Amino acid sequence: MPLNKCQIIELPRINDPRGNLTFVEGGHHIPFDIRRVYYLYDVPEGANRGGHAHKALHQLIIPISGSFDIHLDDGHSKKTVHMNHSYNGLYICPMIWREIDSFTSGAVCMVLASEHYDELDYYRDYGQFMSDAQRMVI
């Protein structure tokens, strides 16, 4: 099941009394090379992000600051992951519908992505996503 591949990846941590440091190397700590980084910030209370799936994109979502919930759906089953440690990233493989909500004030959600932005890689219609996801052999 695609959903089983979506797991928390614990990133390296260099603990230091001056402040901690975490790093990510594409293809080493995560199963793809990084071609794009984007981040969500100044998210108003009660707002939802996501609401789409990708056909081929691989992503790692890191709560750089604060916390939020990620709801995942592969067309067969669903799970919710609470993200609240900046040394943990959630790996999301292709063909996963995701919604992100419950952002705390000041939360920053950073996303590492395997490809440049391409609107053609998106499913923005849940019905279309479900139809294709349920036809896939698992």
- Known catalytic residues? 52
Binding mask 115-134 for ligand TYD (x = CB under 6 A): --x-----------------
Burial of 14 (0-12, 13-18, 19+ CB in 10 A): exposed
Looking at the DSSP bridge assignments, the partners of residue 71 are 80, 99
Q: Which is nearer to ligand TYD, 3 or 70 (CB)?
A: 70
Rounded CA gap, 83 and 107, in Å?
11
Rounded to the nearest 10 degrees, how much is the dihedral formed by the CA atoms of 83, 87, 92, 98? 20
Work out whether 29 is an interface residue with ligand TYD (CB under 6 A). Answer: no
Distance of closest approach, residue 64 Cβ to ligand TYD, in angstroms: 15
Work out whether 40 is an interface residue with ligand TYD (CB under 6 A). Answer: yes
Site size for ligand TYD, by CB under 6 A?
A: 8
Footprint of ligand TYD (CB under 6 A): 36, 38, 40, 49-52, 117
